[in-house]
Amino acid sequence: MELQTLFWNADISDIKRGFTFNKELNKFICLICGESFEKDIVFPVNDQFYNAHKMTEHHITAEHGGMFNYMINLNKSYTSLSENQTQVLIQMNQGLSDSEIAKNLSITTSTIRNYRFKFREKEKQAKIFLSLMNSVNVNKTNSSDSIIQPHRGATQIDERYDVTEKDRHKIIEHYFDEHGKLLTFPSKQKKKIVVLGQIAKNFKEGRVYSENEINIILKRIYEDHVLIRRYLIEYGFLDRHVDGKSYWVK
């Protein structure tokens, strides 16, 4: 199962803690990077030993800074939070009082109270909308008609992502041969995103690649590897250091 599907299909309680338990695999799985820990295994960490549940919690904190830190830093197209709202939530999560937050952000305590009110309203709306979507999904039988989830690094969510699973399969079949080589690079935005998403599957999350490693992989897929590399960065599938020497899945 793809990580994005795993994350977005997880229960709210699982997303909050950052992992889910797969009964078939008997493993706890991190929703951020896909790292898994078998239930019956004991994991040594420094001078301590953790069971799989505790090890998964430790992993999320040590590797990702905790689930709150991961989610609050997602693209605002996912959180729908302004920069000011984000900063207020971060300090609320730290347990600071309204007066402390107001002082730190150079705003009034009444503004903080207004933020709290708006956050509660957002929460109410989210609960109702989630319940509505759950009702719709229960009655949905044709999974090929479901809209694919935008990748986490998407810089802007718009009509370009209005693509069904059926559409995605058709695009992949049209633009790739049976060996996974790209026949031609599409000009239309929707098709371009689907093609780039398919190419991005060749890179593992959590691994850092050199520019040479990126080029070797992309050359196997398409002759103009520089074009593909640029678009993978531009569309938020990959990220890189400013010197261009290191790349990773965004």
Q: For residue 221, is it within any domain?
A: yes
CA pair distance 147, 172, nearest whole angstrom = 16
The whole-chain average pLDDT of the chain stands at 88
pLDDT for 2? 45
Q: For residue 187, is it within any domain?
A: yes
Q: Are residues 243 and 178 in the same domain?
A: yes
Range of the domain at 43: 3-70
- In CATH, what number is assigned to the domain containing residue 123? 1.10.10.10
DSSP string across 53-64: HHHHHHHHHHHH
Regions of the chain with pLDDT less than 70: 1-6, 137-148, 150, 152-158
Q: Are residues 42 and 93 in the same domain?
A: no
pLDDT for 131? 87
Q: For residue 218, is it within any domain?
A: yes
Residue at a domain's end among 109, 138, 167: 138
Do the beta carbons of residue 192 and residue 236 sit within 8 Å? no
pLDDT in tens, 115-142: 999 999 999 999 999 888 878 765 555 5
CA count, 13 A, side-chain hemisphere, 167: 16
Q: For residue 153, is it within any domain?
A: no
Place of tokens 């689930």: 67
**Total tally of structural domains belonging to the chain:** 3
pLDDT in tens, 181-192: 999 999 999 999
CA pair distance 131, 102, nearest whole angstrom = 34
Using CB atoms within 10 A of its CB, is residue 228 exposed (0-12), middle (13-18) or buried (19+)? buried
CA pair distance 149, 5, nearest whole angstrom = 8
